[in-house]
Each structure stands twice: as structure tokens, then as C-alpha cells.
Amino acid sequence: MQLLTLISLAAIALSSNAHPTRARRAASNLLTVPLRRSERDSGLHVDLLHQKQINRAERLMARAAGLPPPSEAQLRANLERRASFIPDISKRSNSNISTTAFDDGGHQYFMSLELGTPPVEFNIVLDSGSSDFWVASSQCTFNGGSCQNHTFFDSQKSSSFVDLKQNFSITYGSGAASGGIVNDTLVLAGVQMKDFTFGIAHNISQEFATDHNIDGLMGLAKAGVGIRNAPPPQIVMRNRGIIDQAIVSFRLPRFVDHNVGEVTFGGLDSTKFDPSTQVTINSTNSGFWIIPLDGASVNGKSVKIQSNTGFMDTGTTFLLMPEADAVAVHQQIPGAQHKNGQFTIPCDTKATVSLTFGGKNFDINPSDLVSGAPKNKPSDGNCSSRIGVSAKSSTQWFVGDTFLQNVYFSTNIDENTVTLAKAI
């Protein structure tokens, strides 16, 4: 799925072999849609994937602080420096360095929805780190050529299409898109919403063009993060009375437990979490989902950390933190090693890392700490850790899917709160 915007709305798509349950609307004005996970192997060395995650975090951090973001050239330089420490980097990795300075090759979470009349189905990536919604148009180009194999929105084939005669341009930590702003009919979980505003992208970056699973992106952060302060989709749904509150709740898919996952608009699905572990925390930022971090522990032993805030982001794969905190956490994981800013841990680690929010501890499944273990286990039995170092200037933790797929994660724009509970 992180990110920066220059004008209007977002949506992205992906494909998977999972067999999701059907979208449904509950009697209590909840819209629940299956959430699937798609992974794309970019062929990059895991250290470079880690650096791309850091690049995303740098852009998010700048956006949250109201500062100018680092340029693509600066982020690419970070990537090239990281590559210089890898003696056996592949030719494929080298070629990607020059064209893509952001985070790809990880996994993303997507749902299906329909646009237009007659309706056409799109797979849309959900991102809690942005608040805009767009899909690729039938006129889409990439570097002057084709946008390749996607489902495209064709305005000439929709009888309900309205061109608002406005332009948009969006830059993320993982790509960019630009085009026009339009109105058309959206159908989500069987509920029809006419004159829904979104962007249709006529130009997209390599990150989107070459990922054939992606059709668009829907951002679910707060309104201040989006272009022109346009309201995010959950606000639009609430204002129309489709849902009662501007709440979005995630049960992220996990391959380990064969969980398909779901996203619920309007409230929480009580069947997906343990209510005795539920805690609601005030967000400390007007745009992003940033909350106080009370502490961390490994195997029940408290770890002394310097940071006290967590940036909750479904678009970040790893758990990123200041270097001193990353060192402190890994010192408590048996067999962990640190070299050139990258940590390794035993591929079969049994360590339980826990984060504390709202006075409650939430465990990370040990299997989620291991990054992309090869089919053939390394001879030394060590794999890259999904706990990594964020940008040097960062003072907060970027809490990505390494943690979030272990909890039920819910955001409430109306109350400016985040709710967490142990997922079941």
C-alpha cells in the first residue's frame, strides 16, 4: 500500500488466490468487505526493501511535521548507499535502484468495489497513511507508453460519469499519479453511492504501472492529509447516512493462520477480536494516526526505549524505530545480530516482542518477526528481522503490518481515536 499528496483522491488494486467471504452490510449500518493480501516479489535484496520502507517513513514523518519532504533524488541516494554495503547484490537489484527509490516488493491489502454504470469491478489498496481515492483511467500512460495490464476506468462507457474539470497530482512514498477529478457511482458491499468523487489517473509511476495487481488506492487517514483537504471516503459515507460514524476497522490477513481478513466501515466487528483486551487511545496528530507508545518488552522483559509515540500505518510493512530502540529490542532476542544497519534473527525464533498501548500489552507472533525467509534456509540459520531502523531524524516508531496483523486495528475520525484489541 504511506505518503504525500499534491492534489485529490486515491485507490489501488491487487489480485490473490485467496477465497474471500462475500461483502456484507450488517443491520447496524456497518459495511464489511473481504480484505485480501497480495505480495509482489521485486527481486530486491531484503536490505534494499528495508531501505525503501525507511524512505517511506521519511516522507511520512515530514508530512506529519508539516515540513518539505525529501526529494526522490535524496531517497535514491539513501538506497544507493545501502546497496554499497551488499557485496552480492543482484543485477536486477542494481537496475531497480536507479528507477524506484520507494517501497515495493512488500505486501499490500486490498478490497474490491465497483465504479460506473454499468458497474466495473476494481481491486483497491487500502492505506491508513493517506486520505485520497483514485483509479487508473483508460487513457493511462507510463513514461509515454502503456500502463500495462490493469482494470481501467473508461469514462465513455459509464452513463453516470461527470467530469468535474479539475486536475490532481499525488506523490506517495511509493509512487505517484496524476489526472482528473470526477464523480460517478460507487458500489461497496452492495450499497450504491451516486456522485461519489474520486480521481482518475492518466499518468502513473513505475511502482503502479508494473504491479499488475494494482488498479488504484483508497486512503483512510484524516482529511488534513489529502489534497485540498477533501474528505476521505469514511467521512463521505457518514455524511450520507450510509454509516453512523466515520470509523474504519481492519483485521489484516495473515498467511500464518490462513486468515482472509476484512475491513469494516462504520464500526467494529466484535467477532474479530477479544473484547477484554480492547483499548481506545486518543490520536495526537490532526492528520495521521499517531498515538502514545507506553513501552515494549521481549519475552516478558521490559525494554528501555527512547520513543513514546507510534505512527500506525497499514502501508508500512516493517516495524521501524530509532536505532537505539532497535538495538535495545534486538539485544533481548536470542541470536540476534546487527551489521550495517540491518538486523538478523534466527529464522525459527521463538521470541515474543510486545508493544504496550493504552496500558495493555499486545504480542507479535514470532513468525511475523522474520522477513522473507528463503525457501532454503541460510546456512547460518539467520533471517532478516522485520524490526528495523527508521530515518536518523525520526523520534517515533512506525508501526506497520509486522504488528498490525496481530491486532484488530480501528480508527475513528469523529472521535480522533485509535482502538486496538487482540485479534481472533
Contact indicator for 266, 237 with CB cutoff of 8 Å: yes
Report the C-alpha gap between 422 and 404 in whole angstroms. 10
Q: Which residue has the cell 534466527?
A: 346
C-alpha cell at 144: 509515454
Residue 393 Cα to chain centre, angstroms = 21
Report the C-alpha gap between 343 and 382 in whole angstroms. 10
Residue 244 known to be catalytic: no
CB neighbour list of residue 375: distance below 8 Å, 6 or more residues apart: none
Go through 391-421 and write b for each residue having 16 or more CB atoms within 10 A of its CB, e for each that does not.
Answer: beebebbbbbbbbbbbbbbbbbbeeebbbbb
CB neighbour list of residue 377: distance below 8 Å, 6 or more residues apart: 347, 383
Residue 404 Cα to chain centre, angstroms = 10
User: Cα angle vertex 20, ends 260, 367, to 5°?
Assistant: 20
Contact indicator for 346, 383 with CB cutoff of 8 Å: yes
Contact indicator for 424, 390 with CB cutoff of 8 Å: no
What's the CA dihedral at 1, 38, 120, 10 to 10 degrees? 0
Residue 348 known to be catalytic: no
Q: Which of 127, 132, 184, 215 is catalytic?
A: 127
C-alpha cell at 204: 502513473
Q: Which residue has the cell 452490510?
A: 25
Contact indicator for 397, 293 with CB cutoff of 8 Å: yes
Q: Which of 47, 104, 215, 313 is catalytic?
A: 313
| 168 closest CA partner among 223, 225, 118, 227 | 227
In the β-sheet with 353-357, what is the strand arrangement from edge to edge?
A: 301-303, 295-298, 353-357, 360-364
Q: Which residues are catalytic?
A: 127, 313
